[in-house]
Amino acid sequence: MQWQKTLGIWAIFVSICLHQSGYAQPLSNGSKFTVTHQVSNATTVHVPNQPLFFESNKTSVTGYQMLRSTDDAMDLLATVFSIKGKLYAYGQEQVFNSADTAGLNTNEMAWLKDLINQPKPIAIKHYHAIAAPKNSNDFFDIEQEDAGKYFLPFAASIVKAGLNWSDSILIDSSKTIHQYLITKIIGDQVFITVLSDLQIKTSFKQAASTIHQQLKGLARAERIYDLKTGLMLSETVQTNLSGSTNNGVDILPISVQLKASSVVTWP
């Protein structure tokens, strides 16, 4: 699953006319913000009599700059400033940290060096990102962020508790249906619950093999936005997936649990 590929928004069902309202208050050109994203991944491959466990945790800091904005589209420039974390697999632990300049020059960390301080354009249309920063490595592809969520998709005058809408996105053979509900408004903060139905098909390299996975599951996100600006302040997400993994020889059941949080720092 690569965000660099075409993102098709194949259906949008809303309880209000989003195209008539647009973003609450798009940032002016040149404005910058920073996102600190943390995610943990617990994956189990259910090999008979000997299950395999994979665990990881990752913290990344990414800076964004607004290049251009209209009522329903934005162009951003994203730069990953830092990535650090741990990956445990096959009884071994790998620690990675982009601040370790000596470690970045090793073959094992080449993938990390290629990501840091490399600006990448992101286009947001119909409230979702068409392209996003390349992820830290193929194993983490499932953890990819959608930068479109950082912006509330309508004006503050429309916002009210109980407002709900939904949309669906298609990326290659993967499909996600999102259902949104404004649960409450406290002062200038808007609380939104997002329930997502996911069908994911992804591939990545592992040693000399190509791993193909098919997963289905549910995610629940809790987001907080600033009512005046329409900009996201924070998010927590919990995702549970199950399906199969295929290394070209065996097809085995797999389960994945993701826990993530994002904090956005605005100017």
For every residue of 94-136, DSSP letters joined together read: EEEETT-HHHHTSGGGHHHHTTBT--EEEEEETTEESS-PPPS
Residue 237 falls within a domain, yes or no? yes
What confidence tier does 68 reach under pLDDT thresholds 50, 70, 90? very high
What confidence tier does 204 reach under pLDDT thresholds 50, 70, 90? confident
For every residue of 45-105, DSSP letters joined together read: E--TTS-EEEEEEEEEEEEEEEEEE-SSEEEEEEEEEEEEEEEEETTEEEEEETT-HHHHT
In this prediction, residues 3-31 reach a mean pLDDT of 51
Residue 25 falls within a domain, yes or no? no
Residue 49 falls within a domain, yes or no? yes
When mean pLDDT is compared across 30-34, 102-106, 213-217, the lowest value belongs to 102-106
What confidence tier does 24 reach under pLDDT thresholds 50, 70, 90? low
Strands 32-45 and 251-265, bridge-based pairing:
antiparallel
Residue 54's CATH number? 2.30.230
Residue whose C-alpha is closest to residue 184's, from 130, 225, 240, 154: 225
Residue pair 14/156 in contact (Cβ under 8 Å)? The answer is: no
In this prediction, residues 207-232 reach a mean pLDDT of 91
Residue 2 falls within a domain, yes or no? no
Residue 213 falls within a domain, yes or no? yes
Domain that holds residue 37: 7-17+32-265
The structural domain count of the chain equals 1
Residue 24 falls within a domain, yes or no? no
Number of other residues whose CB lies within 10 A of the CB of residue 258:
19
pLDDT for 44 beyond 60: yes
pTM of the model: 0.84
